[in-house]
Each structure stands twice: as C-alpha cells, then as structure tokens.
C-alpha cells in the first residue's frame, strides 16, 4: 500500500511534467507561428520588389522609345553621335518607389541605368536564308569571312546556314528534314543548332538574329562586320571607314563609297547608314538584388515597337 505522502509527490511530479510538456508545446507552436509570419513577410517583400522592378524596367523601355522617336524626327542617318547612343547613367529612384510619398526613408534603395545599342551594328544571321528558303551564297561567304577574322572556324557558318534554313522551312518543302530544329530568336539560342557555349560567347559581340533580313549600318558597325559585309574589302579598308566616320558620320552610302577603292562596291541591300532595329538594356539595382532586362525594338517611322523582352540576370548585387 502506497503511503499518502508518496502519492502526493507522484501527483505533483505528474503535474509538473504535464506543465512542462504544455510549455514546450506552446513554445513550439509560437515558434512555428513566428516563422510562418516571417516567411510571409519575406514572400510579400520579394513579390513587391519584383513588381516594382518590372514597373521600373518598363519605364526604362518607355524612355528608350521616347529617345528613338525623337531621333527619328530628324530623318537623318543613324550614328553613334545621336542622343540614343548616350547611356543612361545609374540614377537613384528610391524616393519614387515609396508607397507614401511623404515617407521615403522606408523605401528600398533602387538605382536604374540603361543603354540603347544599334542591333544593325552586328551581322544579321537571318540574312543567311533568302525569301525563297535557300541559303544565300554571298551571305554565307560573308559569314565565313567574319568568323575567320575572329579566329572561329569558318565552317560554323555552314552549320548555322543549314540549321536556320531547316528551321525556317515550311512543311512539305523539298529537302526539309523530318525533325527540323526550333528557330532561334536570340544569339544565346544558337545552342539549339549545336553551337557550344564558348563559341556563342565569342561571336555574340558581332552577330545578331533579327526577324527579317537587314543591312548592317556603316556608321555603327565594327571593322570586322564591315569587312565581312563588303565583298573584297579587307580589315585595313574597313578600319579607315571607321576612323573617317568618327570624324564625320556618313549621311549617305555615296559618302562612304567615295572613301573606298573604286574596285569595291557598296551594295545597298547589304550596307546602309540608317537603322531600324535597336536593343534596349535596362538594369535595376533594388536593395541587394540586381535585375537586367534586354528588349529588342523596331523603329517604323515615328513608331517604336517592342518585339522581344527577356530577363537577363537576377542575382545578389556585388559588395
């Protein structure tokens, strides 16, 4: 038989153990609730930052449209001395992002920068395939020269021409492969045609993929692109054109023609002094994150249309 004192001690111990279990349970539940609340705040903060970034980058694209539209009013050649060629330096926008305009101290640190580049300063790989769906021999030779000038195997041009021809071919076309590749829309997507990443990186500064065939712009293209686009021209003659335009941009093909040997002819279907396609790069640094967006736009008269928008980079900002 258990003594009354011993039974009282057992009951007290059980009560204490129950109380401790209740305390642990309450603490666990409280910790879980705090963590869930913290997580919800983090998700809401990330979503707000994403939305703010999207709006700001859309504003950068609108800025580019305005610049290009105003530039088109001149009706002149497209040159590197035009206003569009001046980058937008990084500017602080924190005060504009605050929900309450009178309390900007709580707003995130936001900085925006942007740049417009002439897409027709690079060789358009779309030129490799003609309107008849066949590879254009003159453009294939130009692409070979371009790749050879930068130390890339010229046979890459043949592989790209074949891949683009197959990708552009319609069902029922003679010679069409059973499983044609997807049509790349950007240089990075040339990997779809079997081009390795290192080669894509090497040719990216000199080539572009535009929706239609386009000439290169003598006022903005590099000497390598110019030499490749003009039959018989070497890098020396192309370099002299680049030096001349730095002093006085070309207003017409005739002005450029006068500066090259008579044996060379500038083909108006392959070279020009005006551009219609541009790339707009917007960069937003919001708090500890950096977001970049690259847009391809086409200028048709005074109208500037956005053709492509792609997110380029989302990462922690460097210290």
* Domain residue spans of the chain: 56-120+276-316, 123-205, 215-272
What pLDDT band is residue 162 in, cutting at 50, 70 and 90?
very high
Of the candidates 163, 154, 152, the residue with the CA atom closest to the CA atom of residue 198: 152
Whether 167 and 204 have beta carbons less than 8 Å apart is answered as no
For the ranges 58-72, 130-144, 186-200, the lowest mean pLDDT is seen at: 58-72
Residues, the chain, total?
A: 319
Give the pLDDT confidence of 200-235 residue by residue, as tens digits.
999 999 999 999 999 999 999 999 999 999 999 999
Under a CB-based contact definition with an 8 Å cutoff, are residues 109 and 149 in contact?
no
Name the β-bridge partners of 285: 111, 290
∠ at Cα 77 (74, 83), nearest 5°? 65
pLDDT bin (cut points 50, 70, 90) of residue 2 is low
Whole-angstrom distance, CA of residue 127 vs CA of residue 131: 9
Which class is domain 56-120+276-316? alpha beta
Phi, psi of 32 (to 5 degrees): -65, -40
- Please give the angle made by the CA atoms of 184, 187 and 189, to the nearest 5 degrees: 45
Contact between residue 195 and residue 187 where contact means Cβ atoms under 8 Å apart: no
Burial (CB < 10 A; 0-12, 13-18, 19+), residue 224, is buried
- E strand or H helix that includes residue 255: helix 253-257
Q: How confident is the model at residue 7 (pLDDT cuts 50, 70, 90)?
A: low
Residues contacting 189, CB < 8 A, separation 6+? 182, 209
Residue 319 pLDDT greater than 60, yes or no: no
From residue 54, give the alpha-carbon distance in Å to each of 59, 62, 97, 293. Answer: 9, 12, 12, 9
Q: Give the list of residues 6+ apart from residue 86 with CB closer than 8 angstroms, or none.
A: none
């Amino acid at each position: 038989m258990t003594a009354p004192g011993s039974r009282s001690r057992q009951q007290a111990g059980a009560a204490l153990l129950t109380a401790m279990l209740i305390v642990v349970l309450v603490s666990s539940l409280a910790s879980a609730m705090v963590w869930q609340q913290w997580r919800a705040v983090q998700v809401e903060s990330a979503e707000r930052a994403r939305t703010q970034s999207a709006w700001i980058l859309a504003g950068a694209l609108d800025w580019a449209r305005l610049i290009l539209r105003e530039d088109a009013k001149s009706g002149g050649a497209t040159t590197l001395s035009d206003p569009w060629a001046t980058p937008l330096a990084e500017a602080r926008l924190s005060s504009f992002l605050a929900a309450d305009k009178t309390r900007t101290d709580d707003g995130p640190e936001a900085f925006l920068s942007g740049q417009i580049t002439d897409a027709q300063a690079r060789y358009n790989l779309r030129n490799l395939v003609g309107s008849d769906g066949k590879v254009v021999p003159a453009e294939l030779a130009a692409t070979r020269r371009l790749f050879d000038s930068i130390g890339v195997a010229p046979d890459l041009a043949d592989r790209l021409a074949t891949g683009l021809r197959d990708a552009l071919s319609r069902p029922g076309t003679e010679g069409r492969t059973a499983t044609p590749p997807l049509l790349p829309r950007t240089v990075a997507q040339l990997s779809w045609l079997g081009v390795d990443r290192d080669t894509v990186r090497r040719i990216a500064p000199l080539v572009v993929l535009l929706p239609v065939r386009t000439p290169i712009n003598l006022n903005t293209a590099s000497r390598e692109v110019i030499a490749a686009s003009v039959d018989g021209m070497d890098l020396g003659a192309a370099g002299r054109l680049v030096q001349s335009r730095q002093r006085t941009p070309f207003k017409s093909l005739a002005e450029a023609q006068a500066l090259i040997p008579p044996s060379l002819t500038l083909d108006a279907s392959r070279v020009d002094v005006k551009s219609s396609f541009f790339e707009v790069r917007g960069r937003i640094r919001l708090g500890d994150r950096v977001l970049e967006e690259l847009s391809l736009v086409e200028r048709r008269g005074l109208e500037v249309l956005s053709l492509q928008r792609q997110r380029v980079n989302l990462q922690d900002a460097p210290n």
